[in-house]
Amino acid sequence: MLLALAMELALKAWFVFDFDNPKHSKSHDLSKLFGRLKSKSQETLDQEFKRCVAPHHPNIFYVDYGIEHVLYQHKDAFVDWRYMHEPKSTMFDRGAFEATLEMVLREFDKRYYTVPASPL
């Protein structure tokens, strides 16, 4: 559940930087959040996914396995897994999802950095 929340926050942060707008989507749907990123960001993340994640976490059900497939498969993971007593989908490929999250965070670090604030 926390991995899904981390991915949601990463995609929302990416959106904020893409559009220079702090008003992000209120959705928890990872697939929709990814779809709202700029197309250049989507392409960058998908290419990096195919380069460094897909070879280590292949999925035989897709010919052109990309980040969108992982995000769609886990699109409602945060909502579904918040309350374990509620019967929901229990499908979760932790290895592929965790590798995808790590890749998204690495790519975010390449584009955006923080500068320590100096005292006034």
| Per-residue CA distances from 96 to 21, 68, 107 (Å) | 30, 12, 16
CA distance linking residue 86 with residue 51, whole number of Å = 37
Query: What pLDDT, in 10s, does the model give residues 47-70?
Result: 999 999 999 998 888 889 999 999
Cβ contact 86:106 at 8 Å: no
92-107 residues labelled b (16+ CB within 10 A) or e (exposed): beeebbebbbebbeeb
Query: What pLDDT, in 10s, does the model give residues 18-29?
Result: 998 877 778 999
Q: Which of 39, 47, 57 is nearest to 94 (CA)?
A: 57
- Whole-model pTM? 0.80
Instruction: Please list, in sequence order, all residues whose beta carbon lies within 8 angstroms of the beta carbon of residue 69, skipping any fewer than 6 positions away.
Output: 59, 62
- Find tokens 């990309």 and name the residue: 66
Query: What pLDDT, in 10s, does the model give residues 3-17?
Result: 999 999 999 999 998
Domain ranges of the chain: 1-107
- Find tokens 């923080």 and name the residue: 114
